[in-house]
Each structure stands twice: as C-alpha cells, then as structure tokens.
Chain A
Amino acid sequence: MIDVMYFAWVRERIGVPSERIETSAPTVAALVDELKAREERYAAAFEDVSALRVALDQELTDFDASLEGVREVAFFPPMTGG
C-alpha cells in the first residue's frame, strides 16, 4: 500500500487530495501508467508528465525513481512559491 497525494491542478483534475493505492509498480513511471489506465481523470492529469513534478516521501525526485520502500508519493505541477 502506498499513499498517493495530489496538489494544485493535479488534485483538481483527479478530484481527490490523496488516496491509498495497492500497487506493485516498481517505479514512479510504472505507477503513472497504472493510474492512467484506471480512469479518464487520471489520463487527463498525467497526459504530459513533463509538466509535473514528483516527490517520494517528501523529497523531489524523477519519474524513473524506484518505489521500493516508499510510503508516500506526491504529484504536483512546478512549484510557485516566493
């Protein structure tokens, strides 16, 4: 089980801020493919992953990163702080 969180327009497109998912996806990219195959709203949110960022256990990383031992995955658009 893994906690998946969504922020900003990714959250709005998917319709929930977070969910717990049963997955055996080895990498972030594989998890994204699984989600996209689920429902149209995921396919819409993940249509262009170059427009997205991902954090594993609250650390920014890449889409080819391994999910081994990871508890929390977060997807969001590029940050606009400051």
Chain B
Amino acid sequence: MSFFWTRGAASRWPSCRFDPVAAVVVRDLSVARGGVVLLHGLAFTVEPGAALVLRGPNGIGKTSLLRTLAGLQPPVAGRVTGAGEDAAYAGHADGVKAQLTVAENLAFWAGVHGRALDDAVFRRFDLAALRERLAGTLSAGQRRRLGLARLAVTGRPVLLLDEPTVSLDAASVAGFARWLQDAHLAQGGSAVIATHIDLGLHAPVLDLAPFRAPADAPGSAHEAFL
C-alpha cells in the first residue's frame, strides 16, 4: 500500500527540503461555520518562503479559514490552490496519544506521511530529554512542543497554524519561531498563522475584520429557507 504514502511532498531534493511548490493562492473565498457565512471575499497569496499572519477578534472565523485551507471543510464560495495535500494543519488539539512515548508519537506521524523520523526534530523542539517519556506525563507546554514537532515530521511545505504558541513559555515561543524562520521558511516552505502574539517573523499581517460577512451573505446553508 506504499503508493498511498508517496503522495504529497516527497523529499526527492536533498539540497532543499521541499519540492518547488506552488504558492498558496486564495481567491474570492467565503468561509462558513455551522452553515453561517463568517468571512467573504477573501483573497491573498502566500509565496513559498513566506508566511502570513492572520489577525482578528475571537469568533471572526480564523479557525474556520484554516480548516477550509486544510481541506477539512469545503469553501462556501471561491477557490483555494496550493494548500490541501501540501498542507499540514495544527489546530487547538495536538493529536498526541497519551499512552505513547514522545518518540512513538512522532514516529507514527512520520510513518503516516511515509517518511523516516529525523533525530534533529527532537533537538529542534527541545524534546531530546523527553524522547522515551509517555506523552500523557508531559506538561501542557511540552505536549504543545510535541504537537508542533509533528509539523516538521510530516515534511509538508505549507503549514496552517491555529494559535500555535498557546501554553508555550517565552523560550519555547522563541525556539519555535526560530525553527519556523530558519528551518521551514528559509527552505522554501510557507505558513499561514493565526496568532495573537508577535512571533518576530518578517511576515505580513492580514486583518480579517474587513472580510467579515454580513448576516445576509450568500452561501449560507440556511438561505434556501429565508
């Protein structure tokens, strides 16, 4: 069944981490949650090597937008190209199995993505000392680091990050930002990040407030009944 594993980003180019990938292009996108349109008319492009920071008050639809980019939910209208199968999504939950060790958790995600587990990941995310610990015994911040390390393990060039720094201390935030800048973006990856703190990236900020959809925006699951 190995043909299932080779889809997505393979590491055929030893010099560069990622295949030359297309930019993430979003055109005229409408995003909904529970059938209610939250954002409309969204348009942006994230080139390889660049990041985009999403800003906006709670409930504006950052999570729904990231889930739509990840292909978890269909767009109400508009088009997304360059994400989907090239994207790795990290939501509020880390997808960490409490009964598995740190190394086993990462080895699993590497296996699912058809990749070998590189030892550098443990160093990068400050997990080397925790390798054989059961994930259930980790602190919230350590568990978060494990969840973020999964992103590196997948080898996917486009990261979709939903509040990645929650429960991280200042040192860990700085470490994560360093990994993002030096190991990911610098090697041709890209990222769309919803965050409220400044990661110190040289990334444009997209304020979502102007794209907030009015109550009668087209595309709602309810509109046939109104």
Do A and B make up one complex?
A: no
